[in-house]
Amino acid sequence: MRLRRAAAGGLALLLAAMAAYLIWSVKVRQASPEGRIAGSGTCRPCHEEFYARWAPSRHGLAMQPFTAELAATLAPQQEEILIGDRRYRVELRGAKSAVIEAGPDGRKRYRIAHALGGKNVYYFLTPLEKGRLQVLPVAYDVRRRSWYDTALSGVRHFPDRADSPLDWRERPFTFNTSCYSCHVSQLVTHYDPGTDTYRTRWAEPGISCETCHGPGLEHVKLFEKSPPGAKPEDPRILRTGAFSPEQVNSLCAPCHAKMIPLSAEFRPGERFFDHYDLVTLEHPDYYPDGRDLGENYTYTSWRMSPCVKAGQLDCLHCHTSSGRYRFESPETANQACLPCHQDKVADPAAHSHHPATSPAGRCVACHMPSTEFARMRRSDHSMLPPAPAATLRFGSPNACNSCHIDKDAAWADAWVRRWRKRDYQREVLERASLIDAARKSDWSRLDAMLAYLARPERDEIFAASLLRLLRRCEREEKWPVVLAALEDPSPLVRAAAAEALAGLNHPQRLQALLRSVGDEFRLVRVRAAAALGRVSESRLEALDHRRVARAAAEFEASMRVRPDDPGSRVNLGNYYLGQGDLDRALAELETALKIDPRHVPALVNISLAYNLAGRNDQAESALRAALRIEPQSAAANFNLGLLLGELGRHVEAKQVLERAWAADSTLAAAAYNLCVLEAPASLERALFWCRKAAETRPEEPRYAYTLAFYLSRGGALDQARAVLEDLTRRHPGYADGFRLLAEIHAAQGNQAAARETLRRARVR
């Protein structure tokens, strides 16, 4: 028996992690060609009315220089804020305002240079070394008029894991890498990986007119030369009024989605999934039913909305282009739901069972309830009805109890069921239970998951989420459904299926992915190219090779959109490892650690590369460093245990593998390798761990085979035979199981059964 190594975090897991470090998602918009930007001020002479609406809006003021005027609107800080062993105090001195830090290193003063946001909170930026603009450790709550700890407010309260605040100097709080392109316009970071420095430049703060309408210089020049009142056929600027609903939604989505950039070339009017991937419910920032737990922006839940699925609703139906809500007044509130829901708008009391003039008489109260995270309020854009049954099952929020705070979810559920004879909550619970089980790697619900994916009416977001979560499932019966999902109408679902196929070793996989690298959407092409990363060129025809090469180039380019992101570097390193290109893999992984020396996935994966290069001292050092940062990392403990086993340090290896198992009791490979290590000295211990492996992963025939092998070695032939009979029934193609079963029959004197078993093996 050999010890088996495994990489930490596959490509899909790292891609999901890229989407949001803390409370921001990175949005990448390439600066328009130099010289074509006119600036929003040039729009004002001809578009004064629109300019007057835009300039004071939250789009126009998404970022602004910190001025004396802005300082005057903020309440003084009442008490110092203690963060770790440092105290922070805000000095409001007009344009010279600063945050004062007092701690073990003495007193430091950080100038407030810029302010972000302002609707719910203000974050503040200060310049640091290497060109970084850093989010300061204290922020301002606009509604409560108080100062608070920025990082602490962003701590997630996951039901199954602990979370803790980051230090404010860490890269997730660096404006240049984590939050820039939704707060300024036409920005280029000019990041230099060699020196880890930025020379960030932007055209203007805030979301400018040209962000949505494209470069305006030619438009301005054209109308300056045209006679008054003239309307040239080509205005030389994008007119979003002619956009389809899909184009409008794609225009707004990059700044309102938890997403992963695929390119730096998005232009208004283009398709979202040609430039971005979308994070879905595989991420723990969502409750299993899709409600918000952390900061998710809106686009994922927006795509769950039945109104959006109908294809007629876009963001500008309810919002102006400057981000304002069109239906603020009580008199117009429900007009947002016209013309589709005329009957309900005409008689809201009959539909809501609340007085029409009450807060619950507004459609959005029940269908778009607000929740708060990191001091920011946001509305649920799924527009789904209240589901207090999901609160009871999963702890997710519901609209009823957001108003009736003195009541519990059981009370709300009883009223919902009394008012609605159709049990609309059943579908919510069914979908959520599948997500919940898949997150826990509980494959007892696999048949139901596969049945859901095969439904024509499946929800796109839930389907993509399940496919991504199914990457952890190794049961063979999933593959036909995953292959079929490559033909799904949704590019998001097709891309998730392509990712999932990375684990299938079958000719069907190759042919399916070769079709997918020619998909019309870039998202599908790059995910298929990544899944084909280990396919040798000798297996490809000339035409296929060209298509794969083009898609692979797109994949590599997508990983370089954010050259300062260590997760992207780790993904590239894993990709090159799969291709056998050890030098390039090491280069990417080393760059990831240069960017962030504390990046645990980079440390774990570089240990694998070092091991392949025969540099085991460095491999061990990398894993020890990972464990100093994250002692409970199952991946780091597991890989260190395997490395120590390979090096013959078996006592240490067993201790570390037991820590890996304690950190993740679904890690059957840790139990299996413990079985192998224990076998020479203690058959009892070997059997204990082998049973753990076989029980955890009954779909893996090797574990059941090994259990039977050691049972037979210990003389428990009847038990071994029972294990093998079950194994050969469940895995009729596993030849080793038949051979060992025949040996046991022979050892028990049953030659006829031995011959029959071998015959069955040959027939199969």
Whole-angstrom distance, CA of residue 211 vs CA of residue 309: 26
The tokens describing 137, both together, are: 């450790």
Closest alpha carbon to 147 in 56, 82, 85, 65: 82
Q: How many residues does the chain have?
A: 764
Q: Are 499 and 468 in contact (CB under 8 A)?
A: yes
**What DSSP designation does 79 have?**
S
Cα distances (Å, whole numbers) of residue 209 to 42, 154, 264, 398: 10, 31, 19, 37
The predicted pLDDT at position 660 comes to 97
Closest alpha carbon to 687 in 677, 673, 675: 675
Strand, helix or coil for residue 260: strand
**What phi-psi label fits residue 626: left (phi over 0), alpha (psi between -120 and 50 degrees) or beta?**
alpha
Whole-angstrom distance, CA of residue 454 vs CA of residue 332: 41
**Which H helix or E strand runs over 730?**
helix 717-730
Residues 6 or more apart from 553 whose CB is under 8 A from it? none
Could you give the angle at the alpha carbon of 69 between the alpha carbons of 66 and 71, nearest 5°? Answer: 60
**Which H helix or E strand runs over 70?**
helix 68-72
3-state helix, strand, coil in the chain (%, to 5): 50, 10, 40
**What DSSP designation does 520 have?**
S
The predicted pLDDT at position 763 comes to 59
- Whether the ω angle into residue 339 lies within 30 degrees of 0, i.e. cis, is yes
| Chain center to CA of 3 | 32
| Class of residue 296 by CB neighbours under 10 A (exposed 0-12, middle 13-18, buried 19+) | buried
Whole-angstrom distance, CA of residue 360 vs CA of residue 371: 16
Whole-angstrom distance, CA of residue 274 vs CA of residue 523: 6
The predicted pLDDT at position 336 comes to 93
Q: Are 136 and 99 in contact (CB under 8 A)?
A: yes
The tokens describing 244, both together, are: 């389809």
Q: Are 304 and 461 in contact (CB under 8 A)?
A: yes
Residue with tokens 């020479």: 680
The predicted pLDDT at position 474 comes to 82
Whole-angstrom distance, CA of residue 255 vs CA of residue 268: 13
Beta bridge partners of 297: 257
The tokens describing 185, both together, are: 């316009």
Walking along the chain (764 residues) 10 residues at a time, the average pLDDT comes out as: 35 31 38 70 94 94 96 97 97 97 96 96 97 96 97 81 83 84 87 92 92 93 89 91 95 94 93 97 96 92 95 93 88 92 94 93 94 93 96 97 96 96 95 97 94 97 98 90 97 97 82 94 97 74 83 95 93 93 96 94 97 97 97 96 97 97 94 96 96 91 95 95 93 91 94 91 68
**Which H helix or E strand runs over 153?**
helix 150-153
Q: What is the DSSP string of 615-652?
A: -HHHHHHHHHHHHHH-TT-HHHHHHHHHHHHHTT-HHH
The predicted pLDDT at position 9 comes to 36
Cα distances (Å, whole numbers) of residue 404 to 191, 284, 350, 392: 50, 27, 19, 15
Whole-angstrom distance, CA of residue 141 vs CA of residue 235: 43
Cα distances (Å, whole numbers) of residue 240 to 187, 314, 338: 22, 12, 22
Whole-angstrom distance, CA of residue 380 vs CA of residue 292: 7
Residues 6 or more apart from 604 whose CB is under 8 A from it? 7, 8, 9, 622, 623, 626, 633, 635, 636, 639
Sign of the torsion angle spanned by Cα atoms 112, 118, 123, 127: negative
Neighbours of 17 (CB within 10 A): 18
Sheet of 106-111, strand order:
81-83, 86-91, 98-103, 106-111
Secondary structure tally for the chain: helices H, strands E: 36, 18
The predicted pLDDT at position 4 comes to 34
Q: Are 47 and 239 in contact (CB under 8 A)?
A: no
How many CA atoms does the CB half-sphere of 146 hold within 13 Å? Answer: 8
Strand, helix or coil for residue 100: strand
**Which H helix or E strand runs over 412?**
helix 409-419
The predicted pLDDT at position 20 comes to 29
Closest alpha carbon to 525 in 503, 506, 550, 489: 550
The strand pair at 184-185 and 204-205 is best described as antiparallel
Whole-angstrom distance, CA of residue 225 vs CA of residue 215: 18
Residues 6 or more apart from 406 whose CB is under 8 A from it? none
DSSP H stretches of helix in 517-633:
522-531, 542-559, 566-578, 582-595, 600-612, 616-629
Domain spans of the chain, in order of start: 14-234, 281-435
